[in-house]
Structure 1
Amino acid sequence: MTTEPQSPQVPSVSALTLPRTLTRQLNQHDGQRVRLLGFVHARRDLGGVQFLVLRDVSGITQCVGSGLHLPLPESSVEVVGRVKAHPKAPGGYEVQVEEFRVISAAVEAPPLEIPKMEWNVNPETMLDYRYVSVRGLRERAALKVQGEIVYAFHTYLREQGFTEISTPKIVSAGAEGGANLFKLDYFGEQAYLAQSPQLYKQIMVGVFERVYEVAPVYRAEEHATSRHLNEYLSLDVEMGFIHDEEDVMTLQNGLLTAIMQRLKDTCAAEFELLGATLPDVPAHIPRIPLLEARQLVTEKFGHVVGGKDLDPEAERLLSQHFAETQGSDFVFVTKYPRAARPFYAHPELETDGTPRTDLTRGYDLLFRGIEITSGGQRIHDYAMLMDSIRAYKMNPEAMTGYSEVFKHGMPPHGGFAIGAERLTAKLLGIANVRYARAFPRDRHRLTP
């Protein structure tokens, strides 16, 4: 039973000299006096005893006192009190309030109740008020996980000898062609927002051999699905002096292993909160050529795949097959046809070394039923590149800023790109990728 605390006072000078304690550290201070800083997550008054759920960067805790004049939810406050074990309190501990101060009072109630968002708020409303809803425990848990993914991405690649680069986001032409480009007026000239750093990171292979970038990319695609964004965070990698795309897949295999280990070490609480499980990354992620993958889902599941790629249902079924037969949540789909790959994709070669016209050394990586990566070996030979540009009916003169470097000894190279939001969403079981980004940009959303 909770004992009734003393009426609180504004924190004294001596109290303010206490170091700040985070809510996750309360188990280290049982019986001790602590100082907390955070937000009013929830509040209630029971017969003159006030209960304040305080939220800080590390979690929430229950604070209990009497005579408290609690401000509106989301106000920032300071609490000084004594830690006491309590089995029904979040984290098993509560704070008996001795001194209390409002640091910054909210001037109006938030537009939605943050503790109750998950079960009584329309998902679109959560995006409309994202500047507040992003404070929710589940929302910020997803962003914490994504931050750790990016950290592991940086760390592993640097350990493997990669150099971080920064490439332009205002460009004169698209890296992949097509119509999914955002146009803009660049001092009277036509320019575009970059749909990929692809061409620049290839150029930088000639400088550092191994490069990576973490930056937003832009796709002017009008579909509004649960798996697409018009602006997303792309984790890009490019490496030189490879033998073929197998070297690229091997690197990505190791990268994914490092990412999952980082999440295991730093985000156990976030995965528990969201009811998600971390996958085991196989030492050798299984591979299957695209044509065999299409045949497999038709013969095993009766799903006929049209077009030149796998459709979403085929991706789901193929992932299901490898999860059931090999225990892998990951599968590389390899040997994509040229019609399904951009002009810079390296063609598969005949035994005599001549390029095939039907297949490339491009691949996709599927994870739990969805593509999270597109990658492969790129063309490095100048003559082959120019033939490919013409075969794709592109203007060679418009590509000179990119193609000229291939006259100067570019090594065999390849790479891949991971969509950070897609990976985050699939890891955590988030149904719509928009909720794996702090401020998503989709077909209909430019604010907040």
Structure 2
Amino acid sequence: MEKIFISELEKHVGQQVKLCGWVHKINRLGKVTFVTLRDSSGLVQLVIEGDAIDDLKLEISTIVEGIVFENPKAPTGLELHEPRFTLLGKTYYEMLPIEVNGYKNKSSLEVQLDNRSLSLRSPKTRAVFKVQEEIASCFRTFLKSRMFSEIHTPKIISSSTEGGSEMFTVHYFDKRAFLAQSPQFYKQMMVGAGFERVFEIGHAYRAELHNTWRHLNEYVSLDVEMGFIADEFELIQLEEDFINYLFAALNKKCSKELELFQVTLPSKVSIPRIPLKEAQEILLEVYDKSSPVGNIDAEGEILLSKYVKEKYASDFVFLTKYPISKRPMYTMPDPDYPGMTKSFDLIYKGLEITTGGQRIHDYEELKANIIKFGLKPEDFGFYLDSFKYGMPPHGGFAIGLERITMKLLGLQNIREATLLPRDMKRLEP
């Protein structure tokens, strides 16, 4: 008899089936014991009449064979009768370090992360990563439908992509190297190499001295770069189209997971676009909130999102026209707005989840801008040289996978949306 998944049981009512999974709950009620079995696809109730198996413990792994019955009173409407157990992986504990079968995990986040292989067994925790998996899958499917090619770029690099100091250094034989902050240089090079439209789902590293609810030192970046664009608003529209594609897919494929978090996604989003200077004025006039030069801070993002929600009924807002001084050296200046760039951020429910914009595509202009930023063109030789051979107008953006997951599900800490977090204090598990 072949193994099936719990999610497939409704196709086998009245039949003998074989399941594999873990014992999630055990409820002994007189002569009847109700056992909940869990696999990667869901939960099902098993009904044992008579004496229960003595060795049956929470989280033991087992094979179960039994007959599928419909029962409206069962938690999922189905249950297995006459179950026969073959116990597999033994358990070696007196008391579980964290609760797995409760709806709300009563352990602190740090304790859950210390026991990650166990905390991930919780159906609600697993639901986070089911949704996250679908986000990444939708990103890939959507872009491939738009003629984008998936690429995989190096994460050990010779120089900073943004001229910053927040880089992790590594010993690379007899040289000093860095962990990539982003695939920025390489995705631009691939546009110029003839791929034209590229994307990557990969890890990025930031040696930021932050240990907050919104920061990670290693995260997954959803990167896009597109050639032959007219301006940054073509990129903005591309991302808005992706958000709509994503929400439609999540509503269809992850309805149970969204319901667990009491999340309702709109069928259609239309995202306002507000220049940064105007956003700063709104914060000052409406909330008496001043902003740092050339940006808005974390509190400003929250307040602006509140304003946008009330005025435009949107959880999203694009901020445009950032100053040259606050963007990387490859960002295209905007001649219609002196001192500003053709760049943008996407704020979602009070948190920046995307940074993007048009890039400088002219070799001499890029070289001059590198010098203006106090950097040395020779330090960016391999990157700069690729602009000598007819680089088209191009641009792109990057979405933080953990950030969009956190905000979409209403989580309180980005580590909840991270399989195995890496921050200032955590290097294990």
TM-score by length of 1: 0.91
Cα offset, 1:44, TM superposition: 3.0
Matched, 1:412 2:393: yes
Partner of 2:240: 253
The code of the aligned residue for 1:116 comes to G
| Contact 2:319-2:344 within 8 A present in 1 as well | yes
Matched, 1:68 2:63: no
Any idea what the Cα deviations from partners look like across 1:91-142, whole Å, max 9, x if unmatched?
1222223322112222335422211373421111001111211111111101
Cα offset, 1:35, TM superposition: 2.4
Partner of 1:85: 70
Partner of 1:268: 255
Give unpaired runs (5+ residues) of structure 1: 1-16, 351-355
The code of the aligned residue for 2:33 comes to Q
| Contact 2:190-2:196 within 8 A present in 1 as well | yes
Partner of 1:228: 215
Cα offset, 1:67, TM superposition: 2.7
Matched, 1:145 2:131: yes
Cα offset, 1:434, TM superposition: 0.7
Question: 2:57 & 2:372 partners in 1: Cα distance?
Answer: 64
Superposed, which structure 2 residues align to 1:202-213 within 5 Å?
Answer: 202-207=188-193, 208-213=195-200
Partner of 1:361: 342
Matched, 1:175 2:161: yes
Q: 1:299 aligns with which of 255, 269, 285?
A: 285
Question: 1:278 & 1:80 partners in 2: Cα distance?
Answer: 39
Partner of 1:431: 412
Any idea what the Cα deviations from partners look like across 1:75-104, whole Å, max 9, x if unmatched?
211222233333442212222233221122
Q: 1:97 aligns with which of 61, 74, 82?
A: 82
| Contact 1:373-1:417 within 8 A present in 2 as well | yes
Further displaced range: 411-420 or 305-314: 305-314
Matched, 1:165 2:151: yes
Give unpaired runs (5+ residues) of structure 2: none
Q: 1:238 aligns with which of 225, 247, 250?
A: 225
The code of the aligned residue for 2:290 comes to V
The code of the aligned residue for 1:51 comes to F
The code of the aligned residue for 2:247 comes to M
| Contact 2:248-2:267 within 8 A present in 1 as well | no
Question: 2:212 & 2:264 partners in 1: Cα distance?
Answer: 24
Further displaced range: 103-112 or 402-411: 103-112
Question: 1:89 & 1:315 partners in 2: Cα distance?
Answer: 45
- Match of 1:222, SS? coil
Cα offset, 1:385, TM superposition: 0.6
| Contact 1:43-1:73 within 8 A present in 2 as well | yes
Partner of 1:10: none
RMSD, matched Cα: 1.6
Question: 1:114 & 1:302 partners in 2: Cα distance?
Answer: 46
Change (3 A) 1:146 1:266: same
Change (3 A) 1:220 1:267: same
The code of the aligned residue for 2:175 comes to E
Partner of 1:445: 426
Any idea what the Cα deviations from partners look like across 1:14-33, whole Å, max 9, x if unmatched?
xxx2x434323334444443
- Match of 2:104, SS? helix
| Contact 1:79-1:99 within 8 A present in 2 as well | yes
Q: 1:381 aligns with which of 347, 362, 374?
A: 362
Matched, 1:120 2:129: no
Identical-pair percentage: 45
Cα offset, 1:52, TM superposition: 1.2
Cα offset, 1:400, TM superposition: 0.8
| Contact 2:284-2:290 within 8 A present in 1 as well | yes
- Match of 1:115, SS? coil
Change (3 A) 1:442 1:117: farther
Cα offset, 1:71, TM superposition: 2.7
- Match of 2:358, SS? strand
Partner of 2:201: 214
- Match of 2:214, SS? coil
Any idea what the Cα deviations from partners look like across 1:191-229, whole Å, max 9, x if unmatched?
110001001100000121100000000001111111111
Any idea what the Cα deviations from partners look like across 1:36-73, whole Å, max 9, x if unmatched?
22111122323343221100111111112033324332
Partner of 2:377: 396
The code of the aligned residue for 2:391 comes to M
The code of the aligned residue for 2:256 comes to A
Question: 2:395 & 2:105 partners in 1: Cα distance?
Answer: 45
- Match of 1:316, SS? helix
Question: 2:17 & 2:128 partners in 1: Cα distance?
Answer: 29
Question: 2:30 & 2:173 partners in 1: Cα distance?
Answer: 67
The code of the aligned residue for 1:107 comes to Y
TM-score by length of 2: 0.95
Question: 1:285 & 1:293 partners in 2: Cα distance?
Answer: 15
| Contact 1:365-1:374 within 8 A present in 2 as well | yes
Q: 1:371 aligns with which of 330, 352, 357?
A: 352
